[in-house]
Amino acid sequence: AQSVTQPDIHITVSEGASLELRCNYSYGATPYLFWYVQSPGQGLQLLLKYFSGDTLVQGIKGFEAEFKRSQSSFNLRKPSVHWSDAAEYFCAVGGRSGGGADGLTFGKGTHLIIQP
Amino acid sequence: DAMVIQNPRYQVTQFGKPVTLSCSQTLNHNVMYWYQQKSSQAPKLLFHYYDKDFNNEADTPDNFQSRRPNTSFCFLDIRSPGLGDAAMYLCATSRDLTRGNQPQHFGDGTRLSIL
């Protein structure tokens, strides 16, 4: 069964500082990997995705993530955070299982706090 | 230009009283999903429709059902809501997966409260 681990429940970063959110996955085949962001009371917005090819993927809002197969990781990074980045961040893995669509399996999320 | 629209944003119902949540999409996507997200937890897939084919997750309670009358609309029916069903319910869509896995687009969710 597939699973996603986000080891950090909360992370506090100063505005302007760099950010890295960790994500490790378990999946039996080539994974499809996603990062979503959720503001309070809102749905999930896709930041970026990895399907294949270049292991460093660029997303919206200045985020990037690097797929490392050897470490089963897909960490999210941003060189300089803004106060508006404060939110919940979810890493997710998806794939196909014979003949149908797969829902996503999410990690438990990392709550990002930005301090002035 | 919202693409996945959920109504209502907030729903209050009584213990045991049936409730229906709705989702519509303007993306013409083949697949529609329903997730349950309890407070401070990750979204959990309940079921999805691939076109008209319904796919239930093994651990989704029988109390939860879904209808998809056409491509654009999908409903989540909770037959007899219990206190444990209070949660945010998220609808998502994605394209035909025969072309490869596509990202899911989420609505803003419906927050369900049970009195």
Contacts of A87 in chain B (CB under 8 A): none
Q: What is the pLDDT of residues B65-89, one digit of tens each?
A: 999 999 999 999 999 999 999 999 9
What was the pLDDT predicted at A97? 47
| Nearest chain B Cα distance for residue A8, angstroms | 13
Contacts of B103 in chain A (CB under 8 A): 34, 46, 49
* Residue B100 banded pLDDT, cuts 50, 70, 90: low
* Residue A98 banded pLDDT, cuts 50, 70, 90: very low
Residue A99 has pLDDT above 50, yes or no: no
What was the pLDDT predicted at A79? 97
What was the pLDDT predicted at B5? 95
In three-state form (DSSP H/G/I as H, E/B as E, the rest C), the secondary structure along chain B is: CCCEEEECCEEEECCCCCEEEEEEECCCCCEEEEEEECCCCCCEEEEEEECCEEEECCCCCCCEEEECCCCCEEEEEECCCCHHHCEEEEEEEECCHHHCCCCCEECCCEEEEEC
Does B105 contact A34 at a Cβ distance shorter than 8 Å?
no
For the beta carbon of residue A2, count every other beta carbon within 10 angstroms.
Answer: 17
Least confident range from A78-92, B47-61, B96-110: namely B96-110
Residue A100 has pLDDT above 80, yes or no: no
Residue B51 has pLDDT above 70, yes or no: yes
Give the rounded percent of residues in chain A with a pLDDT score beyond 70.
93
Q: Which position has the higher pLDDT, B12 or A41?
A: B12
Which among B31, B42, B55 has the least Cβ separation from residue A90? B42
Tokens read off for A17: 């500082």
Which among A32, A51, A103 has the least Cβ separation from residue B45? A103
For residue A44, give the nearest of A53, A36, A52, A33 by alpha carbon.
A36
What was the pLDDT predicted at A73? 95
What was the pLDDT predicted at B44? 92
What was the pLDDT predicted at A29? 75
Residue A63 has pLDDT above 90, yes or no: yes
Q: What is the pLDDT of residues A4-44, one digit of tens each?
A: 999 999 999 999 999 999 999 988 777 889 999 999 888 89
